[in-house]
């Protein structure tokens, strides 16, 4: 079963809108008449394309003469081997009085920082890092909300050639140690607490335990958020952010230009199947990929106001902050996206004339369930683009955006991951938007879909792959000296080809549909079914807030076959009865196939998810099969797993 492919787009840019985009300007400069031609050129001529991206998007640094060495090796290809650059330098080019960032902390705090102010704060924190003994290759870790100080600390660290890594403060102690303990940072920046749903959450006790169990730390800096003067006596070698030494107003930031593949970020896999993998990304790859995605695919221009709802434990934070390199103002937010009766993000969009609104598919689904009508209740005239990621955006989610937010808007469903800190498939301001489809494959990304035999397929489901190297491939995994873990993660399925682990389809429009993670794909009777196909149908029913589906081995212990089991979280006060179960099954059967219909439908009080909001089918499957979940610290609500344990409904 595949989605019904609509012949008419939901949105089509006008010729004037197309002509004004950076994408169209690149097409004119390279002599490519259509996006399809431009994409083909970008993957056939990677040296020419990525060199052009450097120049066209205004990367600052020394490019060198060589662009790509060992272009047929994946992994193993080397990009811009003579280049010298610094990521932070590219983000701090301007030092004027225009807004670098605006920050809203729910409805508690609002702040604004100019580009000159941001530069000065980075200079001050950089001097502190130098005094603490931080230099090139050292690790600096942020256990922080999405605050201005988080951005300052990242820029100060990476300006020196140190490596930045971050996690959100809702992680438990073991979750933080599982991540930062592997990379041994010299400096930790943490927060005294944060607000969520109007309630303060104190972090000082947790911080103290983390610091005590991380012997690599030389200094800890505590950012005050809940209190003006937090009590930090319990933290060894700690000082308050406000007590950092001042520097001369004319102090300049030192930008240590490093090799193209010098480590910039260490990011972590979700860790739900074991200790998180430490994925190392480099200065040059991240910079060029983000410049391309922002300027070309998202049409971010100087003066635009770029927002993404994200924590610092999700790669979308790293993606968001790169918008400074395009001259955009960052709109930062920390707290519940449903504060102010679900309207806080749209209040923010109106107040700050947001041009680009980024969120998750789950937020869009929830806003629709709440009956929000932002296009009627708010002035969103400045809004040109909306991004959605984290899970596949359903066709009904597309409908809601165009009906209730804005008819003339680029809705860009995007997909990639922490593995590449960017996207394989994403939006495009010169192409139409079709219901339920991601618009295109990214420039320079030789994305394809393979069947089980490794053959390219069209309008059929298969494995999302990338068949040629690209600059933002990870440098490797931390402490993986022989590269064996890195190769096992992406290159074992198909030789010399990146296999991403998404169950996908390239459509007749040359768009892409993601059906879910390959490792969560259901296989009843030997037929592969993407979980998103079921979620799309179930969550159209007004009684159902969320759902999660697994394949249960059946009969138990035989491993011969699986049956589909659907768990549902209902609107408050509702109980699952035979009538609703029948409606669920009929909805799925009528719009998919009989094989999609669950053998069991079970009500649960909550659905477990990662810190970035992704539901965890594999963890639930393990609980149902009485197997251990290796790393519950990776979950935002690990207590929800108990709702799936020992369910009598699954014994017959």
Query: Distance (Å, rounded) from C-alpha 207 to C-alpha 202?
Result: 10
User: Given CA atoms 185, 187, 192, 194 in this order, what sign does their dihedral have?
Assistant: negative
Query: Distance (Å, rounded) from C-alpha 48 to C-alpha 310?
Result: 34
∠ at Cα 615 (609, 617), nearest 5°? 115
Long-range contacts of 519-523 (CB under 8 A, 24+ apart): 519/618, 520/550, 520/617, 520/618, 520/621, 522/549, 522/550, 522/551, 522/562, 522/564, 523/551, 523/562
Domains delineated in the chain: 521-651 (3.30.300.30)
User: Given CA atoms 70, 72, 76, 80 in this order, what sign does their dihedral have?
Assistant: positive
Position 450 scores a pLDDT of 97
Position 1 scores a pLDDT of 41
Position 7 scores a pLDDT of 78
Position 27 scores a pLDDT of 98
**CA-based R_g, the chain, Å:** 24
Position 634 scores a pLDDT of 78
Position 387 scores a pLDDT of 98
Position 2 scores a pLDDT of 46
Residues of the chain short of pLDDT 70, as ranges, are: 1-5, 271-274, 557-560
Position 272 scores a pLDDT of 60
Q: Tell me: the pLDDT tens digits for 329-378?
A: 999 999 999 998 889 999 999 999 999 999 999 999 999 999 999 999 99
């Amino acid at each position: 079963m595949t989605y019904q492919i609509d012949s008419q787009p939901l949105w089509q840019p006008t010729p004037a809108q197309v002509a004004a985009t950076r994408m169209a300007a690149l097409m004119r400069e390279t002599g490519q008449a259509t996006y399809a031609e431009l994409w083909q050129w970008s993957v056939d001529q990677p040296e020419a394309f990525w060199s052009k991206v450097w120049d066209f998007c205004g990367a600052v640094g020394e490019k060198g003469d060589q662009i790509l060495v060992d272009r047929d090796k994946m992994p193993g290809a080397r990009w811009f081997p003579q280049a010298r650059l610094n990521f932070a330098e590219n983000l701090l080019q301007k030092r004027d009085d225009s807004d670098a960032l605006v920050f809203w902390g729910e409805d508690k705090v609002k702040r604004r920082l100019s580009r000159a102010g941001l530069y000065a704060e980075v200079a001050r924190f950089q001097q502190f890092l130098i005094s603490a003994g931080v230099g090139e290759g050292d690790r600096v870790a942020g256990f922080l909300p999405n605050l201005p100080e988080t951005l300052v600390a990242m820029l100060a660290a990476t300006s020196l050639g140190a490596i930045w890594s971050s996690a959100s403060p809702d992680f438990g102690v073991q979750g933080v140690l599982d991540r930062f303990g592997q990379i041994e940072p010299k400096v930790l920046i943490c927060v005294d607490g944060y607000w969520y749903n109007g309630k303060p959450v104190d972090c000082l006790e947790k911080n103290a335990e983390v610091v005590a169990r991380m012997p690599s730390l030389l200094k800890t800096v505590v950012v005050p958020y809940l209190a003006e003067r937090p009590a930090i006596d319990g933290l060894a070698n700690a000082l308050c952010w406000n007590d950092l030494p001042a520097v001369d107003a004319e102090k300049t930031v030192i930008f240590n230009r490093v090799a193209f593949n010098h480590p910039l970020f260490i990011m972590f896999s979700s860790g739900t199947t074991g200790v998180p993998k430490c994925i190392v990304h480099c200065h040059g790859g991240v910079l060029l990929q983000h410049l391309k995605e922002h300027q070309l695919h998202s049409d971010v221009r100087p003066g635009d106001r770029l927002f993404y709802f994200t924590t610092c434990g999700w790669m979308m934070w790293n993606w968001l902050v790169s918008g400074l390199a395009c001259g955009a103002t960052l709109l930062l937010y920390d707290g519940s996206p449903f504060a102010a009766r679900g309207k806080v993000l749209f209040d923010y969009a109106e107040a700050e004339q947001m041009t680009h609104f980024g969120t998750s598919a789950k937020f869009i689904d929830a806003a629709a369930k709440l009956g929000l009508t932002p296009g009627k209740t708010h002035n969103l005239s400045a809004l040109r683009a909306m991004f959605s990621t984290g899970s596949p955006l359903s066709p009904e989610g597309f409908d809601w955006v165009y009906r209730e937010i804005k008819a003339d808007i680029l809705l860009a469903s995007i997909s990639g991951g922490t593995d590449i800190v960017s996207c394989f498939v994403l939006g495009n301001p010169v192409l139409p938007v079709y219901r339920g489809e991601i618009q295109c494959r990214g420039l320079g990304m030789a994305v394809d879909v393979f069947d089980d035999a490794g053959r390219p397929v069209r309008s059929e489901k298969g494995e999302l792959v990338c068949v040629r190297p690209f600059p933002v491939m990870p440098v490797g995994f931390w402490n993986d000296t022989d590269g064996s873990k890195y190769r096992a993660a992406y290159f074992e399925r198909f030789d010399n080809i990146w296999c991403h682990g998404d169950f996908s389809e390239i459509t007749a429009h040359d768009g892409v549909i993601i059906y879910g993670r390959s490792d969560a794909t259901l296989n009843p009777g030997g037929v592969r079914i993407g979980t998103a196909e079921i979620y799309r149908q179930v969550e159209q029913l007004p009684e159902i807030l969320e759902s999660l589906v697994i394949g249960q081995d059946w009969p138990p212990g035989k491993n011969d076959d699986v049956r589909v089991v659907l768990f549902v979280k209902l609107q408050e006060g509702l109980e699952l009865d035979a009538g609703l179960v029948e409606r669920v099954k009929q909805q799925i059967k009528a719009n998919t196939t009989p094989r999609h219909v669950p053998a069991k439908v079970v009500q649960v009080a909550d659905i477990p998810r990662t810190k970035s909001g992704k539901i965890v089918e594999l963890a639930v499957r393990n609980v149902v099969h009485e197997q251990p979940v290796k790393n519950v610290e990776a979950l935002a609500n690990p207590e929800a797993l108990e709702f799936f344990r020992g369910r009598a409904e699954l014994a017959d």
